[in-house]
Amino acid sequence: PLGEAEVALTREKLGWKYGPFEIPADIYAQWDAKAAGQAKEAAWNDKFAAYAKAFPQEAAEFTRRMKGDMPSDFDAKANEFIAKLQANPAKIASRKASQNAIEAFGPLLPEFLGGSADLAPSNLTIWSGSKAINEDTAGNYIHYGVREFGM
């Protein structure tokens, strides 16, 4: 790192008369995006309010997902699945147990998204509701191709 003397010389050479971490008002004003952001947020809120009037169920579902709330019936159905597992314990591979959980919870969560590299048949990440995401359609399953692409 530069020492204090080198920093002072660099500031002098550049004609920089401001202190460390001080942003000149004219530069700050050019980069300040608060007003533009507030305007865009207000426009979005107006559009979403109109959407919610036209499509109340879809808007409610969007809001639920954005808040991170679970569907209203999730707890009951999840507890039912867990109770069945507890009543009938099975010795299965963890990847199979994972697939069983995905099969149970996937249909309850429309926002559920998964994927795998080229090992999906052996790691059992594909479930009956899987639909591959590609350039033409929406889906809920990503074929990464290479493990690191999903990281």
Answer whether 127's CB lies under 8 Å from 99's CB: yes
Backbone angles phi, psi at 29, to 5 degrees: -60, -40
Q: Which of 6, 58, 80, 148 is catalytic?
A: 148
Active site residue 148: yes
Beta bridge partners of 115: 142
Ranges of H-type helices in the chain: 4-14, 25-31, 34-54, 56-67, 74-87, 94-105, 120-123
Answer whether 61's CB lies under 8 Å from 55's CB: no
Which residues participate in catalysis according to the annotation?
Answer: 148
